Amino acid sequence: MKIEGKNPIRELINSGKSIDKVFVQDKIADIEIREWVREAKSRHAKIEWVDKKVLDKLSETGHHQGIIAEVTNFEYADFDNVISQQKDLLLIVLDGLEDPHNLGSVIRVAECAGADAVIIPARHSVLVNETVIRVSAGASAHVPVCKVGNLNSAIEQMKEHGVWVYGADMDGESMYKANLKGSIAIVIGAEGKGLSRLTRELCDQIVSIPMSGKVNSLNASVSAGILVYEALRQRGTE
């Protein structure tokens, strides 16, 4: 897997995760990048100084900013370990998101808000890839992302651990009336489809984001951000 650009690679290095190889633009003057190269080298990563044209060919985004890292496939967090934590959990569950830009943005929201994990299904959903990592601006190196075989079984397991599960839907009760304290999971539906029927039925409560405009829906990552920060506000940690 290739990681491109300054922000994602900085966070990758700061996270302490292993790096296999780093391609760096020859004679680059950026002091930060040179420091990261030294750090990566100290962790036994292979460093290769190359012409910008080589980086342009390697780049899948066109925005490598003079550095590309090769790493092993993304390492997902252990779901059982996440939900077994003895604390008030704040989880974001994604029900079949298909756009990697949305997933990357949700991971970025989760990291900024201090959420405990993002949970995605292994099938019928976008998984963490190069685009997701880039859009997350490095947040994917810090926030746990769990990939579960069956999302509905995972929701039942969360409930067994005392997690109250909220589904986000325009027909639900206003988020301002919901009690978002304690251990909670916020379930966000797929783009254009919303929550699947079985997943919706498993939720303890359906909540909505009040809207006054003529458009009655929000982007999945925007919805996640609003609901998570309302939970933080209620907890007195805004």
Q: Are residues 58 and 83 in the same domain?
A: no
* 151-160 per-position pLDDT tens digit: 999 999 999 9
Residue finishing a domain among 12, 38, 70: 70
Q: Are residues 115 and 179 in the same domain?
A: yes
Residue finishing a domain among 70, 99, 129: 70
Q: Are residues 61 and 92 in the same domain?
A: no
pLDDT at 200 over 90: yes
Q: Are residues 66 and 148 in the same domain?
A: no
Q: Are residues 217 and 134 in the same domain?
A: yes
Q: Which of 13-17, 54-58, 169-173, 183-187 has the lowest mean pLDDT?
A: 13-17
Mean pLDDT, rounded, for 169-183: 94
d(C-alpha 124, C-alpha 121), whole Å: 7
Residue finishing a domain among 23, 51, 70: 70
Q: Are residues 92 and 12 in the same domain?
A: no
- CATH number, domain containing residue 216: 3.40.1280.10
Q: Which amino acid would we find at residue 88?
A: D
Residue 120: name the closest of 81, 91, 84, 161 by CA.
91
Q: Are residues 6 and 63 in the same domain?
A: yes
Q: Are residues 12 and 119 in the same domain?
A: no
CA distances from 9 to 53, 64, 101, 170 (A): 20, 10, 18, 38
Q: Are residues 229 and 131 in the same domain?
A: yes
Mean pLDDT, rounded, for 184-201: 92
pLDDT score for 237: 66
- CATH number, domain containing residue 31: 3.30.1330.30
Which segments of 18-161 does DSSP mark as H helices, in order?
Answer: 31-42, 52-58, 79-83, 100-113, 130-135, 151-160
Q: Are residues 116 and 184 in the same domain?
A: yes
Q: What is the DSSP string of 32-71?
A: HHHHHHHHHHHTT-EEEEE-HHHHHHH-SSS--TTEEEE-
Q: Are residues 104 and 134 in the same domain?
A: yes
Q: Are residues 111 and 147 in the same domain?
A: yes
The number of beta carbons lying within 10 Å of the beta carbon of residue 219 is: 15
Give the count of domains, the chain: 2
Q: Which of 13-17, 123-127, 212-216 has the lowest mean pLDDT?
A: 212-216
Structural domain containing residue 169: 79-234
